[in-house]
Amino acid sequence: MPSWIDACATDDIEEEDVIRFDHDGAVFAIYRSPDDRFYCTDGLCTHEKVSLADGLVMDEIIECPKHNARFDYRTGEAKAAPVCVNLRTYATKIENGRVLIELMGAQ
């Protein structure tokens, strides 16, 4: 059964931006795409464990602030060195102006 967690308000994230969300000892990154969709990945870079919420969002790419590693935040796919390990992604849904993430069944 899905376990949906209330992460933030939709208004907490600007278009083409990212915020950090901490829950139960884990760090997540929540993104708002240029086409107004919401996505969620693990919040730490798979290379050096730096918070991706401090990175730069460009279209559908998050760039790590430490070594400029890049991921497609929609799929978690590692797109540029030095990363070679993908991010885990989590389903999102919007209810009553809130972003919910599903912690069960991560991809």
Domain that holds residue 53: 4-102
Mean pLDDT, rounded, for 54-68? 94
- How many other β-carbons are positioned within 10 Å of the β-carbon of residue 30? 25
Place 80 in a pLDDT band, splitting at 50, 70 and 90.
Answer: confident
Q: What is the pLDDT of residue 106?
A: 54
Number of domains present in the structure of the chain: 1
List, for residues 19-59, the tens digit of each pLDDT value: 999 999 999 999 999 999 999 999 999 988 899 999 999 99
What's 70's domain CATH number?
2.102.10.10
Give the pTM: 0.92
Q: What is the pLDDT of residue 105?
A: 55
Is there a domain that residue 80 lies in?
yes
Contact at 8 Å (CB) between 7 and 19? no
